């Protein structure tokens, strides 16, 4: 693609080049690809963004703001702008999902062996009941820029939304650098802006688990959208004869039993896509599609089991993103 116009006819015409940054952060990998005349961002700037967000919301970062809040002797903290944004969105999605999305599930996540302490055994009913006493976003309050506990032992886990938020922060950083054609991916959370120099949109292959059998792999085309895929196949444990995923129902305290194998969400922001994929994984497939259609700003693609067969489902707007070549 050549840039320039009649008013700048005397100026040199410069072809856009593709630049890529990649590395490891937040326990996963990231890739940033963008098109410009010259490199405008460097690795250290990107790594600094990850470091700032980790100091705010990483459960694996000693001394992080979230770990300070989760300490038993902490009643409140002053949130930084990153945490404040994520907490505000968490409350909104909690309400829209009728309690399915809940950031106070950390005690349950830990009990079932998906937390930093890497617990190996299965929790009994008494342990789950005790953990449930501290679960529920009604036990959490925001007052100004302060986050307060209504229950002393309450703990939060932002892993179901913070990685998508990180992608959005990187998106905004690139935009501030006057980079307008790019795609950002962090651990499978993706957001694209603009298009490639040849005028085509960015293309993303939807992850398809082995359990989906011969189901066709789809490619979607993205302009100014975010996409994420979540599935019961991503993180799971097997203890004796019991296999269960990392999706824990905050209303029961037990891993979610769902016919949905995987869900792909396309949204305006990666934070929305990241949070809502957890919600859709817990819903009946038909209810999930109805919910997405009612939102009218989110589109989804589902793989689910019905009578032993793998089936596909779409929201009304999803097909417009599919590559049909």
pLDDT tens sequence across 225-248: 999 998 754 454 555 555 666 778
| pLDDT band for position 10 (cuts 50, 70, 90) | very low
Question: What does 67-129 look like in DSSP terms, one character per residue?
Answer: HHHHSTT--EEEPPHHHHHHHHHHHHHHHHTTTSS-TT-HHHHHHTT-STT---SPP-HHHHH
* Low-confidence winner among 61-65, 164-168, 255-259 (lowest mean pLDDT): 255-259
**Beta-carbon contacts of residue 88 (< 8 Å; ≥ 6 apart):** 142
Q: Please tell me the predicted confidence (pLDDT) of residue 235.
A: 54
| pLDDT band for position 2 (cuts 50, 70, 90) | very low
pLDDT in tens, 276-312: 998 998 889 999 999 999 988 899 999 998 888 889 9
CATH of 195-321 given 3.10.520.10, 3.40.50.740, 1.10.240.10, 3.20.20.150 = 3.10.520.10
- Mean pLDDT of all residues belonging to the chain: 88
Binding site for Mg(2+), by residue number, is 160, 274
| pLDDT band for position 25 (cuts 50, 70, 90) | very high
Q: Between 139 and 10, where is the model more confident?
A: 139
Q: Please tell me the predicted confidence (pLDDT) of residue 138.
A: 96
**Domain ranges (residues) in the chain:** 54-149, 195-321
Percent of the chain with pLDDT over 90: 68
> Is the pLDDT reported for residue 254 higher than 90?
no
Range 133-168 burial, b when 16+ CB lie within 10 A, else e: ebbbbeebeeeeeebebeeeebbbbbbbbbbbbbbb
| Mean pLDDT of all residues in 81-102 | 95
| pLDDT band for position 18 (cuts 50, 70, 90) | very high
Half-sphere exposure of 20 (CA within 13 A, CB side): 6
Per the CB < 8 A criterion, the answer to whether 202 and 223 are in contact is: yes
**Beta-carbon contacts of residue 238 (< 8 Å; ≥ 6 apart):** 244
What gap in Å lies between CA 42 and CA 31, rounded to an integer? 13
- Cα separations in angstroms, 100 against 55, 91, 162: 27, 11, 17
Binding site, by residue number, is 160, 274
- Report the Cα–Cα distance between both ends of the chain, in Å, rounded: 22
Q: Please tell me the predicted confidence (pLDDT) of residue 239.
A: 56
Tokens of 169: 């922060």
Q: Please tell me the predicted confidence (pLDDT) of residue 111.
A: 86
Q: Please tell me the predicted confidence (pLDDT) of residue 210.
A: 61
Per the CB < 8 A criterion, the answer to whether 30 and 185 are in contact is: yes
CATH of 54-149 given 3.40.50.300, 1.10.3980.10, 1.20.200.10, 3.30.70.980 = 1.10.3980.10
Q: Between 258 and 133, where is the model more confident?
A: 133
> Is the pLDDT reported for residue 46 higher than 50?
yes
């Amino acid at each position: 693609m050549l840039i320039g116009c009649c008013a700048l006819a005397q100026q040199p015409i410069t072809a856009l080049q593709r630049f890529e940054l990649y590395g490891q952060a937040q326990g996963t990998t990231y890739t940033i690809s963008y098109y410009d005349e010259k490199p405008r961002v460097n690795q250290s700037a990107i790594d600094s963004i990850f470091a700032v967000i980790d100091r705010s919301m990483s459960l694996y970062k000693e001394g992080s703001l979230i770990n300070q809040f989760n300490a038993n002797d902490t009643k409140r903290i002053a949130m930084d702008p990153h945490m404040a944004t994520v907490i505000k969105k968490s409350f909104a999605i909690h309400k829209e999902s009728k309690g399915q999305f809940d950031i106070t599930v950390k005690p349950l996540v830990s009990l079932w062996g998906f937390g930093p302490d890497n617990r190996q055994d299965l929790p009994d009913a008494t342990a789950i009941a005790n953990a449930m006493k501290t679960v529920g976003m009604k036990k959490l309050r925001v007052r100004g820029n302060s986050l307060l506990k209504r229950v002393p032992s309450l703990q939060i886990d932002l892993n179901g939304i913070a990685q998508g938020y990180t992608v959005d922060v990187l998106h905004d950083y690139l935009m501030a650098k006057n980079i307008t054609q790019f795609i950002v991916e962090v651990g499978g959370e993706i957001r694209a802006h603009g298009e490639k120099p040849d005028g085509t949109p960015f293309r993303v292959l939807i992850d398809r688990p082995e359990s989906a059998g011969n189901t066709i792999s789809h490619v979607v085309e993205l302009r100014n959208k975010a996409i994420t895929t979540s599935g019961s196949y991503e993180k799971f444990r097997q203890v004796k004869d019991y296999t269960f995923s990392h999706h824990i129902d905050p209303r029961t305290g037990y891993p979610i039993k769902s016919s949905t194998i995987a869900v792909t969400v396309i949204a305006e922001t990666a934070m929305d896509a990241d949070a809502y994929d957890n919600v859709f994984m817990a819903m009946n497939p038909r209810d999930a599609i109805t919910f997405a259609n009612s939102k009218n700003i989110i589109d989804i693609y589902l793989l689910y089991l019905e009578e032993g067969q793998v089936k596909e489902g779409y929201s009304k707007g999803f097909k417009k993103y599919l590559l049909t070549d």
